[in-house]
Structure 1
Amino acid sequence: MPSFTSLAIPALYQTSRQFAPRSMAALRQAQYSAKATKPDVVTFEEIDTLINKKDKKVVLIDVRESGEVAQGVIPTSHHVPLANIQEALSLPEKEFEARFGFKKFGKDDEVIFYCRSGRRSGMAFDLAKQLGYNGVRNYSGSWLDYESRAKTQK
């Protein structure tokens, strides 16, 4: 009877080859793609830099309710309540702009969601990912983190 190793090693080798890149070019492309994408979670420092640079390429969306937004917002952000996110992401560009007051972002544009503490923005992030938006990110610290850290910087 053959040993376990003599049976298992060829099977493992065949399995691993199924998932291996077909060429060095494919390997390089996979490495480049992995480096090109940003992490899903945004830090306070990134938000602060974004605000100071007034980067118009990145869209910052507040998914809190109107009463919470009245208490304060992160500068440069736009308001789209979580209850409206799914519908908003499905709207045509002109209708989106008429309803929310800013230009609709593309599926590959960088969009950062935030809320009060990070839970609702995480839900908005997950929903946007499911709808095919690849450039979305989540500021998990959200308003509470921003408010407390922005105060200490001043």
Structure 2
Amino acid sequence: MPSFTSLAIPALYQTSRQFVPRSMAATIRQAQFASKASKPDLVTYEEIDTLIHQGNKNVLLIDVREPGEVAQGVIPTSHHVPLANIQEALALPDKEFEARFGFKKFGKDDEVIFYCRSGRRSGLAFDLARQLGYSGARNYSGSWLDYEAKAKK
């Protein structure tokens, strides 16, 4: 006959899992994923400002806005790849990517930060990059509006 513990422990585990709200389960999964990553997914203005002033060549800033929006201003050191071209761009071979966009393609583990006008499109670019295995992808959710407002101060 099995011991009480061998019967009770699995039963308790199954019961406790039933009562975890979905939102809490998602939070737990996100925390587990974040603990494996070296940096958080979201980038702050302060990180962007430090990145620009240090001239860190190991981190790429990618502007995913449309060309007309880019003409209004950009974050210094950033490169432009419109959101409409992101999926295609990430699938291009390195040399073809460089010829088309004018900068070296980043690797799947390299840190790359996406930004747009307000954070929505950069979030989409971030999600797509992560789905395609780019583990170093991050998102500046405040994006151009946040940068412009804080850089003026």
TM-score between both structures, scaled by the size of structure 2: 0.80
Q: In structure 1, what is the Cα distance between the partners aligned to 2:78 and 2:10?
A: 56
State the shift of 1:119 in Å.
0.1
- Opposite residue 40 of structure 1, the aligned amino acid is D
The answer for the alignment partner of 2:70 in structure 1 is 69
- Opposite residue 48 of structure 1, the aligned amino acid is D
TM-score between both structures, scaled by the size of structure 1: 0.80
Q: In structure 1, what is the Cα distance between the partners aligned to 2:10 and 2:36?
A: 33
Q: Does the residue aligned with 1:56 lie in a helix, a strand or coil?
A: coil
Q: In the alignment, is residue 110 of structure 1 matched against residue 117 of structure 2?
A: no
Distance 1:59 1:15, change over 3 A: farther
Distance 1:8 1:147, change over 3 A: same
RMSD, aligned α-carbons: 2.5
Structure 2 gap segments, 5+ residues each = 17-31
The answer for the alignment partner of 1:127 in structure 2 is 128
Q: In structure 2, what is the Cα distance between the partners aligned to 1:68 and 1:14?
A: 52
Structure 1 gap segments, 5+ residues each = 17-30
Q: In structure 1, what is the Cα distance between the partners aligned to 2:60 and 2:6?
A: 56
The answer for the alignment partner of 1:95 in structure 2 is 96
Distance 1:144 1:12, change over 3 A: same
The answer for the alignment partner of 1:11 in structure 2 is 11
The answer for the alignment partner of 1:34 in structure 2 is 35
The answer for the alignment partner of 1:23 in structure 2 is none
Q: In the alignment, is residue 50 of structure 1 matched against residue 23 of structure 2?
A: no
Q: In structure 2, what is the Cα distance between the partners aligned to 1:66 and 1:141?
A: 19
- Opposite residue 150 of structure 1, the aligned amino acid is A
Q: In structure 2, what is the Cα distance between the partners aligned to 1:95 and 1:14?
A: 52
Structure 1 runs of 4+ with >3 Å offset: 5-16
Residues 29-69 of structure 1, C-alpha deviations (whole Å, 9 max, x = no match): xx9x9365100000000000000000000000000000000
Identity, in percent, stands at 84
Residues 77-97 of structure 1, C-alpha deviations (whole Å, 9 max, x = no match): 000000000000000000000
Distance 1:96 1:15, change over 3 A: farther
